[in-house]
Amino acid sequence: ELLAADAIHGTMNSKYKHTTSKGLSEETRLISKSEMGAPQEGEQNIMTETTEPPSSTDAEVENAADPGQVDGIKEQEDTFVEEAEEASQVKPSIWQRAVAFYTVNSFLILVVIAILLAYAYPPLGADYLQPQITATWIAVMFIFVMAGLGLKTKEFRKAFNRFYFNAVVQIFNFGAVSAVVYGFSRFMESVGALEQSLADGMVICACLPLTVNMVLVLTKSSGGDEAAAVFNAAAGNMLGVFLSPALILMYLGVKGDVNLGEVFYKLGIRVVLPIFVGQMLQKFSERAVQFATRYKKQLKKGQEYCLVFIVYTVFCKTFETGSDSNAGDVFLMIGLQFVLLCTVMVLAWIVLRILFRDEPKLRVMGLFGCTHKTVAMGVPLINAMYEGNPNVGLYTLPLLVWHPMQLVIGSFLAPRLAAFVEHKEAALLLAATPEETTSELPVSTQHDEETPPPAGTKQ
């Protein structure tokens, strides 16, 4: 089509030039006649031959854009389109599929590899790599400095606009989920179906705040309220620094191997102080903000590798000291966490439907915000609270099961929730339109003056 347009455009230009040159020639001849007088017969013949261009018909102009040529161009264009479609339909190789799968599930894959390596040779991560310094201090503080640098505290101003919704999300996430999981885990422990350390790990997982990146991504892909997701993720993680340890100690109590003063001291040094430093850098250091923005992907990968390293050292300690748990307990934990996650998601959806019936975007965001748990804060928090405890690996296992499971379920629900939001908003708009139309139209418009009278009536 573009080539045909160029051909027609060139033809029109040649016709325009021909007409213009002919007009100029006629004008030149008239000027010559007026200035020089009437020429002789020979001169007139010479002037006519030199000034008038050869005649051209409209048929010659139309022949320049030959229909056959246009059809040929269209056939070439169709051929190019078909080749492009065939190239796009080429199946990726096995290596490309493997790379794509790893990119999406890199954290889960690295955690599995870390656990297998820890099982193969526990002393490496338990003793030789000095985990009491590298994992407990350096890795944990780096994670929370980056968390403080990335938390958008400006979003807290939006809390006053939706205080009721935000309060529901945070209360359900910290209070309702932890209460349900605590009751279920105590029941399973009392009947002898679950070991105490794994039951305590389920409660610790339930007391953690919601995720940041995962909630934002799933809310956006599901058509939910992104502003509410940003605020609740930031507010939940800030509250979790203080509220999560308090809930854990309230449910599990202060055991003999836990010194309460030492726990809060370690949390203050390893968690609160790094977050405060990150916030100060965000507010007063433009270079730090620019550096974090420029190398955002690299820093995010660094946090991921630190989490994997912490998991590795934790399970090295667990395998070195030994445990009463076996592979059956791990598979049991996977099934129990799946049941619990589905249960709390159903409960959250019912509560959100009752309280926010006509706000589908808030309901979708609330579904993720009420049930998600963060591994970025959970793993270092557990490591800080239960440093030296031989069961710290079992305390971490339920969280490592819950985290990827919420991503799988959320990805499955995302297109269905997006369709629900679209359908619900269309229904709400349709229900509101007749009322607005009826209220806006005056009564006198039922018989418009411009409407022609019925046939047979006199004007």
If DSSP states are collapsed to H, E and C, what string results for 15-82? HHHHHHHHHHHHHHHHHHHHHHCCCCHHHHHHHHHHHCCCCCCHHHHHHHCCHHHHHHHHHHHHHHHH
| CA torsion, ordered 261, 390, 371, 208, to nearest 10 deg | 20
Task: Please report the pLDDT score of residue 365 as a whole number.
Answer: 94
Within 13 A of 73's CA, how many CA atoms are on the CB side?
13
Yes or no: say if 386 and 395 are a contact pair by the CB < 8 Å rule: yes
Round to the nearest angstrom and report the end-to-end CA distance of the chain: 56
Question: Which residues does 276 contact at the CB level (< 8 Å), separation at least 6?
Answer: 148
Task: Please report the pLDDT score of residue 44 as a whole number.
Answer: 45
Point out the residues of the chain with pLDDT beneath 50. 1-2, 4-5, 7-9, 11-65, 256, 437-451, 457-459
Radius of gyration of the chain (CA): 37
Minimal CA–CA distance to 215: which of 457, 87, 407, 399? 407
Backbone angles phi, psi at 95, to 5 degrees: -65, -40
How many whole angstroms from its chain centre is CA 18? Answer: 61
Residue 180 structure tokens? 């349900």
Question: Which residues does 110 contact at the CB level (< 8 Å), separation at least 6?
Answer: 304, 305, 308
Distances in Å between the Cα of 334 and the Cα atoms of 1, 36, 325 are: 59, 107, 14
Q: Which DSSP symbol is given to 92?
A: P
Letter for the amino acid at 271?
V
Task: Please report the pLDDT score of residue 5 as a whole number.
Answer: 46
DSSP string, 323-386: -S--HHHHHHHHHHHHHHHHHHHHHHHHHHHHHSTT-HHHHHHHHHHTT---HHHHHHHHHHHS
Minimal CA–CA distance to 413: which of 340, 349, 334? 349
Task: Please report the pLDDT score of residue 239 as a whole number.
Answer: 87
Task: Please report the pLDDT score of residue 202 as a whole number.
Answer: 95
Task: Please report the pLDDT score of residue 170 as a whole number.
Answer: 94
Task: Please report the pLDDT score of residue 72 as a whole number.
Answer: 60
Task: Please report the pLDDT score of residue 443 as a whole number.
Answer: 46
Task: Please report the pLDDT score of residue 420 as a whole number.
Answer: 94
Distance between CA atoms of residues 144 and 57, nearest Å: 82
Distances in Å between the Cα of 303 and the Cα atoms of 29, 138, 142, 143, 389 are: 86, 11, 8, 6, 24
What phi-psi label fits residue 233: left (phi over 0), alpha (psi between -120 and 50 degrees) or beta?
A: alpha
Q: Which DSSP symbol is given to 278?
A: H
Distance between CA atoms of residues 209 and 381, nearest Å: 11
